[in-house]
Amino acid sequence: MVCCPYNAVMTFVNDTHNPALKSFVDSANTGTTDFPIQNLPFAVFRRAGSKEDFRCGVAIGDQVLDLTALGKMHLLSGDAAQAVQACSESSLNRFMALGAASWSALRASLSRLLSIDSPHEGVLRGCLVPQADVEYDLPARIGDYTDFYASVHHATNVGKLFRPDQPLLPNYKWVPIGYHGRASSVGVSGQALKRPVGQVCGAGQTVPVLQASRRLDFELEMGIFVGNGNALGSRVSIDEAPSHLFGMCLLNDWSARDIQGWEYQPLGPFLSKNFGTTISPWIVTNEALAPFRKPFVRDAADPQPLPYLTSDNNSAQGSLNVSLELLIETQAMRDTGTVPHSLSRGNYNDAAYWTPQQLIAHHTVNGCNLQPGDLLGTGTLSGPTADSLGSLLEITEGGKKAVTLHNGQTRTFLEDGDTIIMRAHCESDAAVRIGFGECRGVILAVEL
């Protein structure tokens, strides 16, 4: 029962994607949920407000399947049994390190166990916790966090603000530009961050001042979690990359533009970014994303990537059809019970010049070792149109054109109390819609 256009890639598109599959958890079968049985993303959770240990879970409809509880039932065998035992921890790192065959085995088992025909429905119902009752931790201990710059539209928009004559630097269309970010300040959705303080030097000024950022921004990105790693000195080829790619989430790369402008030459962003990065709790696995993979296409006007960034296995290696939405909720909206304002809608495939597989192949071409749980950010996923931009810097043209929200408020940059919400989902004619849940973070006032 293979359902999808890329049925040559049996490892990635298999029975677990069958659109006819239903779960005994009714909320998974609505057609609008982010978490149908075809998704099965992973997170780390506990009952909200409890002192329980955090533990690994899988989303199904509006429930979380507790994998530690499931492991104690001894319903699984072989690779899946080993995999669920690896999930009996407070992070997904050990499971991630097992590799793609184990991830796939557990997914296939969970798909059967949670199906409407499950022989173990009664037992499994005892392992479900309503999502409404839980709180999340980071899904993995993140050893290193790397942020890329994969949207050519974002790079062009930002470049225009600084270099109108040469928005794109000569390396952009050859090198997947990236830099190392701060792992310690990555937090899970719900993160509340104080407005950062830093050195700022106004235009025409020569003496900086220390102040709270006045040009605080977000960046709409996706996060990529590395599964099994590679040894220092070895490379992951682009053909091997999918088996190292555990899954994806949403990521907000908060950015203080005024601090960034003063500090970033010549070594790149530092304090303007490392005060916080927020990710969504659920990791949608690479296997769940398989039906939404798009062939990698490079415009004829652009150079073809170097061979180490090119694969013949185009459908498995390609880009992704992921719809993205970015919303802002101000304190005034919360006070008046008004819905958030939608700032932007786009799609990974329209925004990204480089695919996740290319990012992994590039990251390791020099022998750099990736480790299970490492996080890569895609870079700001701005699309080609004015309604698909991923940062206020771009939406307001560097703060020059305020955006008016649906309640009449305006913004150039973020104000205290502003919450940024990111959502994403995948849909196609041949597959059931799956979603990423929400990535939400709020800015708090700071005292200097």
Residues that bind a copy of itself in the complex, under the rule CB under 8 A: 143-144, 146, 149, 159, 169-171, 174-175, 177-185, 187, 193-194, 196-199, 201, 206-210, 232-233, 235, 256, 259, 262-272, 274-276, 303, 306-308, 362-363, 365-371, 374, 446
In whole angstroms, what is the distance from residue 416 CA to residue 64 CA? 33
In whole angstroms, what is the distance from residue 412 CA to residue 231 CA? 45
Q: In terms of CB distance, is 435 or 441 closer to a copy of itself? A: 441
- Give phi and psi for 34, each to the nearest 5: -70, -20
Which residues, at least 6 apart from 235, have a Cβ–Cβ distance to it below 8 Å?
361, 364, 365, 367
Q: In terms of CB distance, is 36 or 356 closer to a copy of itself? A: 356
Which one of 153, 154, 362, 363 is the catalytic residue? 154
Q: 440 has which bridge partners?
A: 421
Closest separation in Å from C-beta 384 to a copy of itself: 21
Q: In terms of CB distance, is 99 or 187 closer to a copy of itself? A: 187
Nearest CA among 188, 207, 167 for reference residue 250: 188
344 SS3 class: strand
- Sheet with 191-194, side-by-side order of all strands: 191-194, 431-444, 419-428, 323-329, 341-347
Q: In terms of CB distance, is 153 or 341 closer to a copy of itself? A: 153
Which residues, at least 6 apart from 183, have a Cβ–Cβ distance to it below 8 Å?
142, 143, 144, 145, 375
- Positive or negative, the CA dihedral 151, 154, 157, 162 is negative
- The Cβ of residue 266 has, within 10 Å, a number of other Cβ atoms equal to 4
Q: Strands of 195-331 (E only): list them.
A: 197-200, 209-212, 216-217, 220-226, 245-252, 255-256, 277-279, 284-285, 293-294, 319-320, 323-329
424 SS3 class: strand
In whole angstroms, what is the distance from residue 84 CA to residue 118 CA? 18
Q: In terms of CB distance, is 278 or 349 closer to a copy of itself? A: 278
Q: In terms of CB distance, is 109 or 272 closer to a copy of itself? A: 272
To the query of whether residue 425 is one of the catalytic residues in this protein, the response is no
Closest separation in Å from C-beta 186 to a copy of itself: 10
Closest separation in Å from C-beta 109 to a copy of itself: 31
Closest separation in Å from C-beta 54 to a copy of itself: 18
Active-site residue list: 154
